[in-house]
Amino acid sequence: MGLFALPDELEALRAAARRLAETEIASHAVDADRDATFPWASFEAYRDSGLVRAIYPEHLGGDGGGALAYAVLVEEVARVCGSSSLFVLISRLGVTPIVEHASDALAGAVVPRVAVGEWQASYCLSEPEAGSDVASMTTRAIRDGDHYVLDGRKSWITNAGISDVYTVFAKTDPAAGSRGISAFVVPRDTPGFTIGKLEHKMGMRGSPTGELVLEGAVVPADHLIGAEGQGFAYAMGALDTSRPIVGAQAVGLAQGALDAAARYVTQRRQFGRAIAEFQGLQFMLADMATQVEAARTLVYRACSMVDAGGPTVSKVSAMAKLFASDTAMRVTTDAVQVLGGAGYTTEFPVERMMRDAKVTQIYEGTNQIQRVVVGRRLLDEVTT
């Protein structure tokens, strides 16, 4: 497969995803954002289309698509609705540690139901005092015979209250720092597990973000993912592979804003002609388009490396997330400017896309953390 040209099957996936997004998802985006409600009609259309299976392993009920397929799917949905792109992204992230490290029995009980859209999943790493500093988490998991008892709070959890199953990271050995973190599958109906406060957000308003409360939550011992003490490695590995997907989400938001701006300038007239004829706006659009294409290429490069299974993708994954999300913020802001006063109103989607784009610079590691990752990996390469 060439690095800069997608194979025919991925172009076919893009075409199918774009049709679905434009015909079944775009029409619900305004309501989901305005009312801060989960777009169930959009999710059900995605589930019923069969595209949900594209990004899960074949042996667990999926179609076997890799990171590039994942990126294309998220990008096309984000192009019309950022909130909906999160239900594509988060369930796959939620089960990544399960796919990669869980027992066959645990993976077989969970992943096939997510792969067909029967269940949704969440990834539960952050806490009120443990965001970028994951090792400082305080959620505990104590072994008690044939089960574990979990206590603590998780915050900023995407799909909180919507997901059916949650991958929860907790400390089984608090004295061991990051080496004392383990990972567990926690079903929504687990006694002692409840949904706490839901956040009121600037963007991605159709995707709930909230707090999980664990108060003596009991899960069977076989819900441990992999081995005790390996949760930090599992978490970081999942983020290495999903950060380019956040980049793809950012590219989709930027592309949607660019498309809206390009359409607008051909229709809006000032001084007796379409404003598309003014060179100043043409230059803005040219810069926006170039930035989007550069971001897309870096995202696809990172995804191709994930699919190739190289020894480490941390640096390029961080680069892709960093550059694409900064691009999305810049391009969506410029799109609002291109539309002028109209861009500042909810009559056009660019203000929503600008609000949605902001969080791509924050979640799955702030862009400041991405720069730390890139800098450290770069220096490691120089000194080895």
Could you tell me whether strands 193-198 and 209-220 are parallel, antiparallel, or unpaired per DSSP bridges? antiparallel
Which of 86-90, 118-122, 133-137, 347-351 is the least confident region?
A: 133-137
Scanning the chain, the segments in alpha helix (DSSP H) are 8-20, 26-35, 40-49, 67-78, 82-101, 104-115, 231-267, 279-308, 314-339, 350-358, 367-383
Kindly state whether residues 191 and 314 are assigned to the same domain.
no
Per residue in 16-32, pLDDT (tens digit) is 999 999 999 999 999 99
Cα distance between residue 50 and residue 69, in whole Å? 14
Q: Does the residue 91 lie in any domain?
A: yes
Burial class (CB in 10 A: 0-12, 13-18, 19+), 218: middle
Domain end residue (candidates: 166, 198, 229): 229
pLDDT at 51 over 60: yes
Cα distance between residue 211 and residue 197, in whole Å? 5
Kindly state whether residues 32 and 160 are assigned to the same domain.
no
Per residue in 345-363, pLDDT (tens digit) is 999 999 999 999 999 999 9
Cα distance between residue 29 and residue 32, in whole Å? 5
Kindly state whether residues 26 and 135 are assigned to the same domain.
no
Contact at 8 Å (CB) between 51 and 280? no
For the chain, percent of residues with pLDDT exceeding 90: 92
Q: Does the residue 1 lie in any domain?
A: no
Instruction: Tally Cβ neighbours within 10 Å of residue 40.
Output: 13
Q: How large is the average pLDDT for residues 84-93?
A: 97
Token code pair at residue 380: 């490691």
β-pair partners for 121: 165
Kindly state whether residues 303 and 366 are assigned to the same domain.
yes
**CA 383 centroid distance within chain:** 33
Q: Does the residue 290 lie in any domain?
A: yes
Annotated catalytic, 75? no
Provide the pLDDT for residue 302: 96
**CA 49 centroid distance within chain:** 20
Which of 100-104, 125-129, 309-313, 325-329 is the least confident region?
A: 309-313
Cα distance between residue 242 and residue 85, in whole Å? 13
What range defines the domain where residue 51 resides? Answer: 8-115
Contact at 8 Å (CB) between 190 and 225? no
Kindly state whether residues 329 and 309 are assigned to the same domain.
yes
Cα distance between residue 185 and residue 170, in whole Å? 11
Scanning 50-200, the segments in alpha helix (DSSP H) are 67-78, 82-101, 104-115
Cα distance between residue 181 and residue 138, in whole Å? 10
Provide the pLDDT for residue 292: 98
Q: Does the residue 373 lie in any domain?
A: yes
Kindly state whether residues 374 and 275 are assigned to the same domain.
yes
pLDDT at 133 over 60: yes
Provide the pLDDT for residue 351: 98
> In 3D, which of 335, 312, 307, 324 has the Cα closest to residue 364?
324
**Residues 6 or more apart in contact with residue 116 via CB below 8 angstroms:** 47, 52, 53, 61
Kindly state whether residues 82 and 178 are assigned to the same domain.
no
Q: How large is the average pLDDT for residues 81-86?
A: 98
pLDDT at 40 over 70: yes
Dihedral sign for Cα atoms in the order 40, 43, 45, 50: negative
Kindly state whether residues 339 and 359 are assigned to the same domain.
yes
**Residues 6 or more apart in contact with residue 178 via CB below 8 angstroms:** 134, 135, 232
Provide the pLDDT for residue 3: 54
**Residue position matching structure tokens 């390009």:** 262
Q: How large is the average pLDDT for residues 58-77?
A: 97
Per residue in 196-248, pLDDT (tens digit) is 999 999 999 999 999 999 999 999 999 999 999 999 999 999 999 999 999 99
Provide the pLDDT for residue 2: 43
Q: How large is the average pLDDT for residues 325-343?
A: 97
Kindly state whether residues 29 and 44 are assigned to the same domain.
yes
**Residue in 9, 199, 364, 381 annotated catalytic:** 364
Provide the pLDDT for residue 4: 67
Q: What is the pTM of this model?
A: 0.95
Burial 305-321 (b: 16+ CB within 10 A, else e): bbbeeeeebbbbbbbbb
CATH number for the domain that contains residue 32:
1.10.540.10
CATH number for the domain that contains residue 264:
1.20.140.10
pLDDT at 1 over 50: no
Per residue in 144-178, pLDDT (tens digit) is 999 999 999 999 999 999 999 999 999 999 999 89
